[in-house]
Structure 1
Amino acid sequence: MKNKKLNQWLWKWHFIAGLISLPFVVLLAITGGIYLFKDNYEAPKQEHIKVVKVEGKAISYQKQWELAKTALHKAPNAMIIPKKDNQATEFITGRFNHKNSAFVNPYKAEVPGNISPKDSNMYTVRKLHGELLLGKFGTKIIELIASWLFVLIITGVYVFWPSKKEGLKGFFTIRFKQGKRILFRDLHTVLGFWMSVLLLMTLAGGMPWTDIFGANFKWLQNVTNTGFPKTWSARGIKSEVKGDAISLDDMVKLAKSMNLKGEVSIGLPSTPKGVYSIYNTTFDLGAQKRFHFDQYSGKQLVNHNWEDVGVLMRGRMWFMAFHQGQFGTWNWVLMLGVAILLAFIAIAGLVSYLKRKPEGKWGTPKVPAQFKVGYAIVAIIVILGIVFPLFGISVLLITIFEFLRERKKFNS
């Protein structure tokens, strides 16, 4: 049996937090759904740069590298091996939002163009989704809303949980013939309940991008040694300068002989002591591998499999890939469904509220005056406040405000 007073208290805070976060939740759902179409949107716009006509003999990768150096402001740090003959060779400098790629036509020995993530309208959608176009301040707002969403989902599941009298049918019942308020209330609660696990997984995949939680998670990875191995990205590995460097063509030939899964890249040495790296990017995460080679002798210095990656990093990468729908068509369709349904259940909750809201009042659920939160609930809030610091700070501010309000009411 549910504790009725606790149920009312949880419903009150579910209601308040939901009402405040609702516009942000709808925005996150819409922008997240749009961003899933990033590749479909960008492909035709970038085709004139990425796709080339096969004519004559292709120049060597070594010469393509030299062409790319002149087309980029910085020397490229990686090259993606083309999978098809009509595919331009991509040379990359920088990472993430600072990434810039020069595409080389190996048949005409020219660079048809450069592409950066910032060149696309989808970059604006991503920035709106992740930081409301407000920079670091916006990122923290999104982190605060995402933190409260965990609480909204947990409290929503408790408040919705059917009574013993309703039984199993309570998990599925949507009353279509008892008015719009009841209909939208049931759509909000029933669909929200059945989506709760998916929503928690989606949130878990987005949290590593946040400022405070993300930084704390990285710190935890470092102190527990559960992130990437230190040499995963060739950090600290050096070539012995001796003779002439191996050509990029030889490294490409070696990479192709490995039959690695997914997109295969060559990490390029940027200094005389730098190393060549061969690695693949695939969302069959277990198939990811990394190899580092002396750029002069070709000797393999270090190699890593996915099993060498720490458990927290593996979990983080899995949830981030899931969040972006990158595990194949099923994952993409699932995330699109989550985005659409999240927006729908948020709006359904708002419609239900507006239908029951008394005129001139907020209609906040009442909590019995004698109700006191138990130690278990306090412990859960404290733990959530530690895991999600912005949530913890917001709860502290709310508590102080409530205390001062009650004290003022008592004194008056």
Structure 2
Amino acid sequence: MTRTERWYRAVWRWHFYAGLFCVPFVLWLSVTGGLYLFKPQIEAALYAPYRGVATGPSSDLAPEAIAAKAVAAVPGSVLHKYVLPEDRRDAVEVLVGQGAEDVRVWVHPQTGAVLHKVPEEDRLMRVVFRLHGELLAGDWGSALVETAACWTLVMLLTGLFLWWPRGGARLAGVLYPRLRRGRALFWRDIHAVTGLWITLGAAFLIASGLPWANAWGDYFRQVRTVTGTAAGRQDWSSGANADAVSRRRDDAGMRAMMSAHAEHHGMAMAHMAPSPAALDAVVRRARRLDFAAPVEISPPTAPEAPWQVRSQAENRPRRDSAEIASDGGLIGVERFADRHWIDRTVGYGVAIHEGAWAGLANQLVNLAILFGLVLLCVSSMVLWWRRRPDGELGAPRSLAPLRHSWALVLLVMTLAVFIPLFGLSLGLATVLEVSLGRVVPRIRRWMGWRTAA
């Protein structure tokens, strides 16, 4: 019994510490994630003034002329991406930039007038994306969010284990809350029932978000490199700093190609890419590919390199890409189905995570899970505040030991191995608990450790 109680106390402490640490982050991630779920609708409203701007029978400008207008609107920039408009009446979006800085420019397709321009990282949904994944703090913010996400996973697993119905429990208080049995039972049921319903979905959202995390994402890439499964270009963000390095590298390559083209023709460096006419030819070919919108066209970054055409559809399984020569000849097409199975799996996971895989239904299901996480946080704080021992911060005392607690401990240990940053934080928490408990007995009493065997 003593051994069983020790494991059970360990589970209780992990659940309590995970909740104590995670609650602020879960609330933050739920709010920012809920906003980002509706990115398509929000951006459609924000950029509505730049749709349907073309009127009358006037012919459209050539893509190279539109790109030149965008480049001229941002001194010192070069063309980074040309975005095919979904409707010929819409303003053309062109990404230009210098180094790692991208600016999105909306150009009237008939007059060439610059209707709007904004730094790419200052767009509302880009800010929300960075707030959600990095707290706008780069790699350190990403590491903090990743740690909180992993501890949230532990909180969900341990909570499900602790509250799992046993001994012929009835449906009330398990599948639905008892709302008229007093406040204490009300908050207990809200916490337990909510956790029971959302744990699977919340665990999926956490797991599908890990490839974006800086530490785990790098660990994932290294494992894929060692195992020979890292084939092709990664189709998800590696963090703000890594993305900036990639943009800076591409910008340097595009400028080098421009310089080589200018020297070849004995002329001063132009603003446009290797050949202005090349963009026209590439755009004509790209339109015939009928990729899912939005479709981005990027200039070459090295000698003899092709133009890159990539679908950036919100639903990632619809993302195809192609390579096109400067004369408009199609070199090759890569469909989503052609990618490595790991990339396809991550692609589906990211699409579901962002609410893009099944449209509005996907968004609403994810929103319900996020609402459930908020409800878990609020109810956990109420339960802790009502049950906390006098003069202590520690977890509520266990009522009775549970069988097979060691299995959950083993699962947490497995997570620590496969998610190194979580393993590091778990080891640090264990060392602090043991060392502080021995060196400073008052802290041990305050944390409520005196009953731990």
TM-score interval (norm. to shorter): 0.7 to 0.9
Find 2:223's aligned residue among 213, 217, 220: 220
Instruction: Find the aligned partners of 2:232 and 2:423 in 1 and give their Cα distance.
Output: 32
The answer to whether residue 344 in structure 2 is matched with residue 324 in structure 1 is no
d(CA) in 1 for partners of 2:124 and 2:329? Answer: 44
Match in the other structure for 1:267: 298
Which of these residues, 302, 305, 325, is aligned with residue 335 of structure 2? 305
Shift of the alpha carbon at 1:132? 2.9
CA offset digits 1:276-309 (Å, max 9, x no partner)? 233323355444322212214x443333122332
Q: Displacement of 1:311 after TM fit?
A: 2.1
* CA offsets 1:220-272 (integer angstroms, 9 cap, x no match): 23333334426999x99x9xx99996643333332233333333333333566
Q: Distance in 2 between matches of 1:271 and 1:363?
A: 60
Distance 1:378 1:45, change over 3 A: closer
Task: Identify unmatched segments of 5+ residues in structure 2.
Answer: 236-245, 266-273, 442-453
Q: Does 1:346 align with 2:377?
A: yes
Provide the C-alpha distance between the structure 2 equivalents of 1:376 and 1:40, rounded to a whole number of angstroms: 44
- Give, in whole Å, the separation in 1 of the partners of 2:137 and 2:298: 34
Q: Which residue matches 2:95?
A: 92
Shift in CA distance, 162/63, structure 1 to aligned 2, threshold 3 Å: same
In 1, the alpha carbon distance for the partners of 2:337 and 2:15 equals 41
Aligned match for 2:199, one of 191, 196, 199: 196
3-state SS in 2 of match to 1:92? strand
- Distance in 2 separating the partners of 1:260 and 1:129: 29
Alignment partner of 1:333 is 2:335 = no
Match of 2:15 in 1: 14
Matched residue SS, 1:295 = coil
CA deviation string 1:190-221 (max 9, x = no partner)? 11111011101111222222221111112223
TM-fit CA distance, 1:148: 0.4
Q: Does 2:63 correspond to 1:61?
A: yes
- Mapped to 2, the partners of 1:397 and 1:211 lie a distance apart of 20
Change (3 A) 1:159 1:319: same
Q: Does 1:109 align with 2:139?
A: no
Pair 1:124–1:255, CA change in 2 (3 A): closer
Shift of 1:146: 0.6
SS at match of 2:22: helix
Q: Measured at CA, do residues 131 and 409 of structure 1 come closer, stay the same or move farther in structure 2, by a change above 3 Å? A: closer
| Aligned residue identity for 1:92 | L
Residue 186 of structure 2: SS of its match in structure 1?
A: helix
2:450 counterpart residue number = none
- Give structure 1 stretches of 5+ with no counterpart: none
Q: Tell me, yes or no, if the aligned pair for 2:79 and 2:95 is still in contact at 8 Å.
A: yes
Quote the residue 1:294 is aligned against.
Answer: 325
Instruction: State the Cα distance separating 1:181 from its structure 2 match.
Output: 1.9
How much does 1:134 deviate?
3.5
Residue 189 of structure 1 aligns to which amino acid in structure 2? A
Over 3 Å counting, the alpha-carbon distance change for 1:372 and 1:155 in structure 2 is: closer
Shift of the alpha carbon at 1:18? Answer: 0.6
State the SS of the aligned residue for 1:114.
strand
CA displacement at 1:313 relative to structure 2? 2.0
**Residues matched between the structures, number:** 402
Given that 1:181 and 1:351 are in contact with CA atoms closer than 8 Å, whether structure 2 keeps it comes out as no
Question: What secondary structure is seen at the aligned counterpart in 1 of 2:304?
Answer: coil
Counterpart in 2 of 1:127?
130
Q: CA deviation at 1:335?
A: 1.9
- In the alignment, the residues of structure 1 paired with residue 101 and residue 402 of structure 2 have an alpha-carbon distance, to the nearest angstrom, of 53
Code of the residue aligned with 2:214 in structure 1: it is: D
More deviation in 245-254 or 63-72?
A: 245-254
Distance 1:274 1:104, change over 3 A: farther
Report the equivalent of 1:394.
425
Q: Secondary structure at the match of 2:26?
A: helix
Is the CA contact (8 Å cut-off) linking 2:70 and 2:107 kept in structure 1? yes
Structure 1 pair 42–355 and aligned structure 2 pair: CA distance change class (3 A): same
C-alpha distance in 2, partners of 1:132/1:77?
Answer: 27
Q: TM-score when scaled to structure 2? A: 0.77
- 2:72 counterpart residue number: 70
The farther-off stretch of 300-309 and 203-212 is 300-309
Partners of 1:377 and 1:194 in 2: CA distance: 19
For the aligned residue pairs, the C-alpha RMSD in angstroms reads: 3.6
1:47 & 1:331 partners in 2: Cα distance? Answer: 24
Q: Is the 8 A contact 1:180 1:352 kept in 2?
A: no
Does the aligned pair in 2 maintain the 1:205–1:321 contact within 8 Å? Answer: no
Report how far residue 388 of structure 1 moved: 1.9
Counterparts of 1:131 and 1:231, CA distance in 2: 19
Q: Taking every aligned residue pair, what percent have the same amino acid on both sides? A: 26
Query: Greater CA deviation, 145-154 or 260-269?
Result: 260-269
Indicate which of 204, 208, 229 corresponds to 1:205: 208
